[in-house]
Amino acid sequence: MTVHFPFQNSYSALPDSFFARVAPTPVAAPRLIKLNRPLAVQLGLDPDLLETPEGAEILAGKTVPAGADPIAMAYAGHQFGNFVPQLGDGRAILLGEVIDRNGVRRDIQLKGSGPTPFSRRGDGRAALGPVLREYIVSEAMFALGIPTTRSLAAVVTGEPVIRETVLPGAVLTRVASSHIRVGTFQFFAVRRDTDAIRRLADHVIARHYPELLSAERPYHALLAGVVARQAELVARWLLVGFIHGVMNTDNSSISGETIDYGPCAFMDAYNPAQVFSSIDETGRYAYANQPRIALWNLTRLAECLLPLFGEEQEKAVEQAQDILGVFPETFSKAYQAGLRSKVGLFSERDGDEALIQDLLDAMAKNQADFTLTFRKLGDAAGDPAADGARAEFMDPAAFDEWAQRWRERLAGEQQTAAERQTAMNAVNPAFIPRNHRVEAVIQAAVNNDDYAPFEELVKVLAKPFEDQPDYAAYADPPLPDQRVLQTFCGT
């Protein structure tokens, strides 16, 4: 039996300027280290066949499955604010698209599958560590209910990759509702190829925003749609303490999914200025800067769409500004609603925003762990004697002062303590992919070929809102000597 991929490709039917046709480069000795079986099933793939040697060869790019139309997608992008007119898939190849069991079109892409015409001086390969990090964090985001690309599989290639040291090579199979980015539009905008921008916009509307097909002004509506999805996405990131780390326009998805897990990280102690990425020297992509950067990226998208807005440029610019102007409100609405749920409020009242901000300020001042404070606040809502949240504060009196106001506010709602605790536990995760855990998993795999820690971490993170007493230690923040201060890019 051979593995059957029910490909129905659409992107590779777009004009030639959108991509380069290129097959993955075969590797020496592919070995499957992880298959996401539930995701395989959802994509209409046979997980048992994917686990055969032939399946591993496909997932490593050694064999191209029937029906694939492998391409490297063209895109441009602003990297840390500097425009690069041509980036493109330099180490990734889109095998094709399948329609999943929910009727959603999904890209199946190999990342680390060898050089493409967009590789420039790169080797087109990926190292095992970053592949495992992307697998762990993207699947954790999915379990947290946050729009994201998924990870179908990780394979080691049996070939070394040379970075600062020699590392095992690996390939990640990434699944996305598409890999179209703000940078994809920029690629054509900088070439003043308005026909291509229109083709791309039409493709995106049909694929990601079909409800806009009948809109009076579909391209304006498209911009508004992407603005709304990105605003909501970034709010979701902040609500779980996620820092993307490289919010370049080429890493900003048009479908509104989190994409490109490089030096990303979840923060432990709450600190709005937190940066982990070793290359983010100015803190451009710091935790609290993410909404502002998302809007900056969307402004670049708006610039690309202007030629589709009509003849009169001045009017087009005004219209674009109006659409972008909605971002702060959409973001704030989603963020504040999320925060209200996190502190267990069922209703909305004047003063809530200030009450919650005071908690966040006290958390920052007292180096309270972001995840544990909220999780344990749920316990405190259920039982006033539960003091886990209080214990997160260097000065517990700061919590007490706030908690008194919080309890007064809660008293104005009719829900029971148990109802509140249940609701809070459904939005405040106990388990996030803590950096020190991710690093430990990577070290075990890279240094000792030991994947048991990886398997266990993935298993725990699949149920982030359940207590899982057997794995309670995974909820703990790092000890001082375990703390990870910097993360490094996927390359």
Report the interface residues with Mg ion, using CB under 5 A. Answer: 251, 260
* CA torsion through residues 151, 149, 23, 86, sign: negative
Q: With CA atoms as reference, report the closest residue to 398 among 358, 370, 342.
A: 358
Site string for ligand AMP, 93-132 (x = CB under 6 A): -------------------------xx--xxxx-------
Which of Mg ion, ligand AMP, none does residue 263 bind to, with CB < 5 to 8 Å depending on kind? Answer: none
* Distance (Å, whole) CA 461 – CA 145: 12
Q: What number of chain residues touch ligand AMP (CB under 6 A)? A: 19
Q: In terms of CB distance, is 215 or 489 closer to ligand AMP?
A: 489
* 3-class DSSP string for the chain: CCCCCCECCCHHHCCHHHEEECCCCCCCCCEEEEECHHHHHHCCCCHHHHCCHHHHHHHCCCCCCCCCCCEEECCCEEECCEEECCCCCCCEEEEEEEECCCCCEEEEEEECECCCCCCCCCCCEEEHHHHHHHHHHHHHHHHCCCCECEEEEEEEEEEEEECCCEEEEEEEEEEECCCCEHHHHHHHHCCCCHHHHHHHHHHHHHHHCHHHCCCCCHHHHHHHHHHHHHHHHHHHHHHHCEECCCCCHHHCECCCCECCCCCCEECCECCCCCCCECCCCCCCCCHHHHHHHHHHHHHHHHHHHHHHCCCCHHHHHHHHHHHHCCHHHHHHHHHHHHHHHHCCCCCCCCCHHHHHHHHHHHHHHCCCEHHHHHHHHHHHHHCCCCCCCHHHCCCHHHHHHHHHHHHHHHCCCCCCHHHHHHHHHCCCCCCCCCHHHHHHHHHHHHHHCCCHHHHHHHHHHCCCCCCCHHHHHHHCCCCHHHCCCCECCCC
List the x/- string, 193-232, binding to ligand AMP by CB under 6 A. ----------------------------------------
* Residue 344 near which of Mg ion, ligand AMP, none (CB within 5-8 Å, type-dependent): none
Q: Taking CB under 6 A as the rule, does residue 277 contact ligand AMP? A: no
Counting contacts by CB under 6 A, is residue 491 touching ligand AMP?
yes
Minimum CB–partner distance for residue 95 and ligand AMP (Å): 16
Nearer to ligand AMP, 55 or 124 (CB): 124
Q: Which residue has the tokens 């999914």?
A: 257
- Pick from 109, 249, 251, 371 the residue near ligand AMP by CB under 6 A: 251
Which residue's CB is nearer to ligand AMP, number 189 or number 356? 189
90 touches ligand AMP by CB under 6 A: yes
- What residues have CB less than 8 Å from 428, skipping those under 6 apart? 342, 371, 374, 375, 377, 378, 465
Is residue 457 a contact point for ligand AMP (CB under 6 A)? no
Choice between 57 and 260, CB closer to Mg ion: 260
- Determine the length of the chain: 491
Which one of ligand AMP, Mg ion, none interacts with residue 122, CB within 5 to 8 A by kind?
ligand AMP
60, 75, 193, 217 alpha-carbon torsion, rounded to 10°: 100
- Annotated catalytic residues are 250
Report yes or no: 244 and 258 within 8 Å, Cβ to Cβ.
yes
Query: Using CB distances below 5 to 8 A depending on partner kind, what does residue 88 bind out of Mg ion, ligand AMP, none?
Result: ligand AMP
| Shortest Å, Cβ 126 to Mg ion | 12
What is the closest distance, in whole angstroms, from the C-beta atom of residue 130 to ligand AMP in the complex?
Answer: 9
Among 91, 236, 420, 434, binds ligand AMP (CB under 6 A): 91
Work out how close the CB of 260 gets to Mg ion at its nearest, in angstroms, rounded to a whole number: 4
Q: Name the minimum Å distance from CB 77 to ligand AMP.
A: 8
Site string for ligand AMP, 145-174 (x = CB under 6 A): ------------------------------
Cβ proximity to Mg ion: between 124 and 464 the closer is: 124
**97 vs 260 by CB, closer to ligand AMP:** 260
Return the residues of window 257-276 that contact ligand AMP according to CB under 6 A.
260, 262
279 scored as a contact of ligand AMP (CB under 6 A): no
Q: How far is the CB of 116 from Mg ion (least distance, A)?
A: 13
Contact region with ligand AMP (CB under 6 A), list: 61-69, 83-91, 152-160, 377-385:
83-91
- Name which of Mg ion, ligand AMP, none residue 353 binds, using a CB cut-off of 5 to 8 Å depending on partner kind: none
Nearer Cβ to ligand AMP (82/214): 82
The residue sitting closest to ligand AMP, measured at its beta carbon, is: 122
| Choice from 30, 65, 291, 490 touching ligand AMP (CB under 6 A) | 490
Measured at CB, which residue is nearest to Mg ion?
260
In the complex, the residues that contact ligand AMP under the rule CB under 6 A are 87-91, 118-119, 122-125, 246, 250-251, 260, 262, 489-491
